[in-house]
Amino acid sequence: MGYVAVKGGESAILNAEKLVDYFRLKGETQPLNVKAIKEQLRLACDKVMSEASLYAPELAALALKQTEADTIEASFLLRAYRSTLSRIGYSEPVDTEEMFILRRISSAFKDIPGGQILGPTRDYVLRLLRFELLEERKEDKEKLFPKIDEDEEPPKRIPKVINILREEGLLPKPKIKKDEKPYDITRCALVFPLPRSGILQALARGEEGAMMAIAYSSMRGYGDIHPTLAELRVGFVPLKIKHPLTGEIVKVGDILVTETEIIAGKPTETGEDVPQFSLGYGLVFGHNERKSICMAMLDVTLKTENPKHPAEDQEFVIYHIDSIESSGFTNHWKLPHYVTFQSDLDRLRKIQKEKRKND
């Protein structure tokens, strides 16, 4: 449910809109450049694209500028824009083994095929303010980066860690139904229980903070899932579509994604003769490792047949991780509630009056 103000003094509303721009631009600095936001605030742009479910880095940067870096409001703007776009087709399934890898790690095994690639991460740095950035200049950027050897090419395909476990029979083999169409949550009403394709769609555009809170509840005791990170990948994957005229599969570009595969310590019955581990999967737009891990975590918890905890309940999780829905309902309390509150006042006064009369 979305709430938007539709009534009020026109002059006051227009002036309120002007004040927003005034407070955004009232300082002495130059207006922010959208290109600079896209390049230097990349993680914020990736967060907005993920929650808006629209891969458009420049528009995400524009939304951040317009909303003064309010990421939820920026996601709202970008998802609203997405709703105006025509649906011209569907992409082909992405093979993430074709990923041009920027970062790839595993906490399950030390030595993995293709090796561990740390890539861009703050996991190993001290959490200290770098005061030299207060006076950062363009010239400083050239000193930071050595000349890159462009002759060295990365491997074309790096096999998945989970394939090792599948070969040993410790993980179930994927059940692929080529003719089955994915559940489209943007065109179909949410009817529970959702198929896994619908759950993954909802998780992929969920709000990072909400997903982390619910996943964390299971990690620390309100559930019994304690996962191990089989593999986390960050990189560019090819986007392919079927050519509308020739019918051939053609590549139309590359998109940056974060993919996570976790192994749940809780064995699951899969119809095999012996129990196997559960596999959780997460894939989101851009570089967003926390959200991808939480998505994989919730993918496992939502497979619970008899849910006992919030993280295991489909309806609870899906309805409470959407930042657009939750922010809309939260913001609606700022709109007039005069009539309903007067009704509450009259009811309470009447109850108090009856209570005093009886006493």
Residue 66 shares a structural domain with residue 102:
no
Per-residue pLDDT of the chain (359 residues; tens, 9 = 90+): 444 445 557 888 899 999 999 999 998 999 999 999 999 999 999 999 999 999 999 999 999 999 999 999 999 999 999 999 998 888 999 999 999 999 999 999 999 998 999 999 999 999 999 999 999 887 777 777 766 665 566 666 888 999 989 998 889 888 777 677 889 999 898 999 999 999 999 999 999 999 999 999 998 888 877 889 999 999 999 999 999 889 899 999 999 999 999 998 754 545 556 788 889 999 999 999 999 999 999 999 999 888 999 999 999 999 999 999 999 999 989 988 888 999 999 999 999 999 999 98
Residue 47 shares a structural domain with residue 106:
no
Residue 47 shares a structural domain with residue 109:
no
- Which range of residues forms the domain containing residue 322? 96-327
Is residue 356 assigned to a domain?
A: no
Residues whose CB is less than 8 angstroms from the CB of residue 185 and which lie 6 or more positions away in sequence, other chains included: 194, 198, 201, 202
Is residue 339 assigned to a domain?
A: no
Residue 76 shares a structural domain with residue 107:
no
Is residue 202 assigned to a domain?
A: yes
Residue 109 shares a structural domain with residue 194:
yes
Is residue 342 assigned to a domain?
A: no
Is residue 29 assigned to a domain?
A: yes
Residue 128 shares a structural domain with residue 173:
yes
Taking the model in full, what pTM does it have? 0.90
Is residue 42 assigned to a domain?
A: yes
Residue 137 shares a structural domain with residue 28:
no
Number of domains in the chain: 2
Q: What is the pLDDT of residues 177-208, one digit of tens each?
A: 767 788 999 989 899 999 999 999 999 999 99
Residue 70 shares a structural domain with residue 210:
no
pLDDT at 1: 41
Of 34, 52, 82, the last residue of a domain is 82
Residue 134 shares a structural domain with residue 254:
yes
Is residue 346 assigned to a domain?
A: no
Residue 69 shares a structural domain with residue 105:
no
Residue 76 shares a structural domain with residue 172:
no
pLDDT at 3: 45
Q: Note whether 243 and 251 are within 8 A (CB).
A: no
Is residue 354 assigned to a domain?
A: no
Residue 144 shares a structural domain with residue 74:
no
